[in-house]
Structure 1
């Protein structure tokens, strides 16, 4: 299937020449290896360039596995009641000193099984190499996301040159820069979600449910994909998701104990009521409740309680979008509904950090693959609105006056519109039909 897609993505003249060649598979394999080289350059460059980044957001995972190692796991979900991005805990500070960690600590909000499973890694390396490992894994996951999208839904980007251009453009965008500077792991679980979609498309429901349940066991938001699957009629994948989830819950309780598991449930309940007006929270809830009086809070990450009406509205909109996209996915089988569902989950979550919008890049590949002036224009606007100059960039506060506060959110909504509309005549590229010779009467 990928071979045929690659051949169809070529210009007509090249296809005719290649079809007469005795070795078309050789060409396909060469293109594949060239793409792998492009991904390798992307991963190596990113790892080397960001090797000295702070990796602050990875600190919670590192300290969490150290808390397991030092038998202080009862303090795993300590937090500051006023500020969301810091933690005031004597046990955490003591653990950090013992582990020779000197960076900024952020509260732990993942499942306890994630911290527990990291113990073999944390016990053998210090935080620097721990950071390098996950920096590599994040870049590798981004490459997987782009490769899956190209193979399934955007065959034009099976071309190594086009993929190189796509990855090169990503390096100038705020979601990627933000993710790599703080060494975020979100891309790993987005790659798992796309792999789940891939297996679901191949009717391998056992693996699709397992991959999605594992992604949801660390980042809760991928679990909402089951709403999309339900309305698309993928009930076997939903079934296996619940089977795998029950297995993971039992495994979590056996590994960390019932008390820590309930601490996690309470932590999730607390976070679901949190409203942040920080500049890097690009969620619909933050936008809907924003007013100028919160300008002074943009760099404070102060905890507010989300309005119940806005919370209900966000939840209803997420369910409506996922239901609609799932139902339309029965007809539209070109990846538009899958990627639109992932973006919708991001937009309508209570907290949607800037780096979560890295999911826009696979969606842009699908839109560009459709062709058409309108699609190209929308992709250009989405790219510009996510560059580190236009997007909110708190690393350089002096340029705030030149940025757009919710640029990632606006570009995500525009991307959803483009994904839904790219099949309509206004968006599509005109068909290049062959000219027929004039018939003489």
Structure 2
């Protein structure tokens, strides 16, 4: 299971009234005799650094914010992207100033209207940290005053070199989500890592996580089966068709399991999505490792054969981004396909629901116990299966009966049981994994 998340944004270009000097200091210069004015996208690409900011709240209001998780910080930051908000020292949105420090204050859920860049650390709200300590939800801060200061929300490293990072910031051209060279674009002051003192790591379970796939394909079996990933040991415990156990050492605590036919032949295999790096670590049939940079912290992984319509037999990866309700699927040539499907709180699944063509996406909605599956023509198929607390799986569980379509199922952590739905709607229950 997996998907990448790339935002496509239309950014408003504005200057706050009475702040012309501050905006001009940060805005790019364009030739006076241009045939046409620069587009908003062009200005956004060139716009870097702060464009001034309003005064901080009074010292009596500088108490640290409420406890907040890293995923919530990223989701709050993402919620302002694409709204067309105008940069202003004086205006507010949702109670927060619409400038760089007001935006960071909003993402960190601090008091309104927000602090300024000179106040985050002295007030006790935040503390300096090292580059090695950076995690999604932290920030890069230039603590100078006014237009010289700036703050950027850190969302994760773009790759393992840690030379650039995924970030959210509010500049003179609007709220932006983009990659930034570490620690920031040159010529815009000194930026250092900083952490909200009230932030907490997202809860990660050390209990089993379910997977499903055709582990027996090399023996000519067409049916999918189940398994679990055990983070405490970094092992996959896979159930074969005869009920026997196959153990594979792959992954570590904090990883999220995925499975698909990465090689395009033989059995399905396993892999993990590592939120801390935004990387997939895929196991090939010969036991070798393939690493793909795709996704970011907060994303949930999916996997499937998105290219099957082009004759490609190999599975690929993708991510579901709850903050936008979008799947970001990686095609075999490395290109991106975005599908709007689902909402915050949904858990992604993927499978060949139509029984022909490419695999498609879907979500399990714990609040209703329903699967919302996307068919090849974009239509919706809803299946009632499962309940709150269940975790979804999908595979061709009926493959032994010659049916080509994918099926859904759930793993119930409280009992350590899989409840699998067959094509005729009947239930197969399998005891596999350790109850939580």
Normalized against structure 1, the TM-score is what?
A: 0.26
**As a proportion of its length, which structure holds more strand?**
2
**As a proportion of its length, which structure holds more helix?**
1
Normalized against structure 2, the TM-score is what?
A: 0.26
